[in-house]
C-alpha cells in the first residue's frame, strides 16, 4: 500500500469511529433528556397555595418553585374526582374515551385503567426513562391494572384513597380490608399509620433520586393528602393557624422542598422538569375566589394550582392566564423528552412546550374543554373566556333554587361564576352548545 495512503486511511477510520459514536445514545441519558417529576396532591384547592392566596398557613417551597418557573391561573383537570382525573393525567385523553369517567374506583371494583391505554409512563420508559410512582394509584387495584403493568418500573404506595382503609360499605355489605401498602407487587404492610404517609413518600422519593443510576427518570409523586381523613406527622401538627388542614398542607410543602433540595444536592435540579398540581378541587380546603368544590363542575371543582419549573429552560417568575390542563402534559412531555407517540393515538391535550420555553412571544390557541360530572354526564364546556353550563347534578340546590338554568359566564370578568349573561350573548351559547353536541357524538 502506498505510504501516503496509510495515514489517510487511518485518519478516515478515526473520523468514522467518531461519527458513529457521536450518533450513539449516551449511557448517561440524563445529560440529554430532562428528568421529570409530577407532584400530585389529593383534593388540594386552587386557594390552598400561598402564591394563590392561601390564608392561615404558608407554602414557601411551592412559592419558591413558582418563582423558578410558570404559575398558571387557568390550569384544569378533566374530572371533579380522583380516578378519572388521574387517568386523564397519565393518558392525555378524556376518561370518557375509555369508560373511566364516572365516579371513582372502590375496593370492591373489578375494573381499572384499560391496558389498551398508552400511559405517560409507558411512553417515557420506551424512551429509556426509569419510571416510578410513589403514593396513591387509584386506577384499579386488581393486579392486571396495577402500576407495574401500566409502564411503571417501581411502585411504592397504596392502590386507592386513604378513606377506604378498612371501610364498611353498608349499601352492598362489603368490608374493605386494611389499606394495603405496596412495594411493587408485594404488600409490605396493611393499614399503615397515615400520620407518616407524606413523610414516607418523601423519603422514598429522595432515596430513588439518590440511587437513580445513569438513566433519566420520571417520578410521579401522588400524595394521599389532603384527602380526608387528614393526617400529618408529629413534626407538623399544630404548626399552622388553620388547624390540621393547614398542618397537612405545610407538610406537603415541606415534601416539595425536600425533593427540590435533593435535586440541587445531586446537581440535577437544572435538568429536571418539576410539575406541581392537584387532582381536583377541595373538599374542605379553599377554592377561593372560584365557585364550587370537589365533585362539582363549577370551576372550584376542576381549576387547580398548576406550577411548572425547569431552571435554565423555562423563564422564571411567570404568571400565566393561558388556558392549560393536565391533558396537555402527555404531549408536552413527549416533545420535551423526544419520546414517540403512536401515530394512531388520539390525544385530547395540546403540546405546550413552545409556550413553556417562550411564554412572552408564544400564544396558545383557544380550544374547547369539556366538564364531565361525577355521574359521567357532560355538564359544561369552556372556550376562551366563556363557560357554558347546561345542567348541574351536584352543586345546585333544586329544592331551594328550582331547576338549574342554562348559564353562561365570562370567566375573565367573572371568575366566581356569579353573573349569568346567557341572554346577552345568544350566539356564544349556540356555538358552545354545538361544540358539546359534536363532542358527544364521538361516543355514540
List, by residue number, the catalytic residues: 82, 138
Question: In the numeric block, which cell numbers belong to residue 218?
Answer: 420520571
Q: How far apart, in whole angstroms, are the C-alpha atoms of residue 162 and residue 444?
A: 36
SS3 (DSSP) at 21: helix
Q: How far apart, in whole angstroms, are the C-alpha atoms of residue 344 and residue 340?
A: 12
Nearest to 59 by CA among 193, 315, 210, 245: 245
- Residue at grid coordinates 378541587: 281
Nearest to 73 by CA among 302, 276, 274, 306: 306
Chain Cα centroid distance, residue 386: 24
Q: How far apart, in whole angstroms, are the C-alpha atoms of residue 102 and residue 142?
A: 18
Question: In the numeric block, which cell numbers belong to residue 114?
Answer: 384499560
Question: In the numeric block, which cell numbers belong to residue 27?
Answer: 449511557
Nearest to 274 by CA among 264, 288, 287: 264
Q: How far apart, in whole angstroms, are the C-alpha atoms of residue 387 and residue 381?
A: 6
Amino acid at each position: 500500500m502506498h505510504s501516503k495512503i496509510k495515514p489517510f486511511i487511518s485518519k478516515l477510520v478515526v473520523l468514522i469511529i467518531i461519527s458513529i459514536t457521536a450518533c450513539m445514545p449516551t449511557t448517561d441519558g440524563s445529560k440529554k433528556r430532562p428528568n421529570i417529576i409530577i407532584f400530585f396532591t389529593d383534593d388540594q384547592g386552587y386557594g390552598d397555595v400561598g402564591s394563590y392566596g392561601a390564608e392561615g398557613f404558608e407554602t414557601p417551597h411551592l412559592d419558591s418553585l413558582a418563582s423558578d418557573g410558570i404559575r398558571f391561573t387557568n390550569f384544569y383537570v378533566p374530572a371533579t374526582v380522583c380516578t378519572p382525573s388521574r387517568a386523564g393525567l397519565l393518558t392525555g385523553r378524556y376518561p370518557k374515551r375509555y369508560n373511566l369517567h364516572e365516579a371513582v374506583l372502590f375496593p370492591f371494583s373489578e375494573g381499572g385503567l384499560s391496558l389498551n391505554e398508552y400511559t405517560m409512563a409507558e411512553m417515557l420508559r420506551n424512551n429509556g426513562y426509569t419510571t416510578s410512582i410513589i403514593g396513591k394509584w387509584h386506577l384499579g387495584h386488581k393486579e392486571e391494572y396495577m402500576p407495574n403493568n401500566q409502564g411503571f418500573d417501581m411502585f411504592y404506595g397504596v392502590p386507592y384513597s386513604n378513606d377506604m382503609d378498612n371501610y364498611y360499605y353498608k349499601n352492598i355489605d362489603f368490608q374493605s380490608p386494611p389499606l394495603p401498602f405496596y412495594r411493587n407487587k408485594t404488600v409490605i404492610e396493611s393499614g399503615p399509620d397515615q400520620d407518616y404517609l407524606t413523610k414516607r413518600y418523601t423519603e422514598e422519593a429522595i432515596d430513588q433520586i439518590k440511587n437513580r443510576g445513569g438513566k433519566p427518570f420520571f417520578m410521579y409523586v401522588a400524595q394521599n393528602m389532603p384527602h380526608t381523613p387528614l393526617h400529618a406527622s408529629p413534626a407538623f401538627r399544630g404548626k399552622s393557624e388553620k388547624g390540621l388542614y393547614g398542618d397537612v398542607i405545610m407538610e406537603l410543602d415541606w415534601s416539595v422542598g425536600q425533593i427540590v433540595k435533593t435535586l440541587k444536592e445531586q446537581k440535577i435540579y437544572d435538568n429536571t422538569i418539576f410539575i406541581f398540581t392537584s387532582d381536583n378541587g377541595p373538599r374542605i380546603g379553599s377554592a377561593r375566589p372560584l365557585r364550587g368544590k370537589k365533585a362539582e363542575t363549577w370551576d372550584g371543582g376542576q381549576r387547580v394550582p398548576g406550577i411548572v419549573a425547569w431552571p435554565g429552560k423555562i423563564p422564571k417568575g411567570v404568571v400565566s392566564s393561558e388556558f392549560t390542563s393536565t391533558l396537555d402534559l402527555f404531549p408536552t412531555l413527549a416533545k420535551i423528552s423526544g419520546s414517540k407517540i403512536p401515530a394512531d393515538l388520539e390525544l385530547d391535550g395540546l403540546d405546550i412546550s413552545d409556550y413553556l420555553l417562550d411564554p412572552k412571544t408564544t400564544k396558545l390557541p383557544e380550544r374547547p374543554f369539556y366538564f364531565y360530572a361525577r355521574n359521567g354526564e357532560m355538564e359544561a364546556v369552556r372556550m376562551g373566556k366563556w363557560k357554558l353550563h347546561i345542567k348541574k347534578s351536584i352543586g345546585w340546590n333544586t329544592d331551594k333554587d328550582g331547576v338549574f338554568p342554562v348559564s353562561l359566564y365570562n370567566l375573565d370578568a367573572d371568575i366566581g361564576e356569579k353573573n349569568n349573561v346567557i341572554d346577552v350573548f345568544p350566539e356564544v351559547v349556540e356555538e358552545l352548545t354545538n361544540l358539546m353536541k359534536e363532542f358527544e357524538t364521538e361516543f355514540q
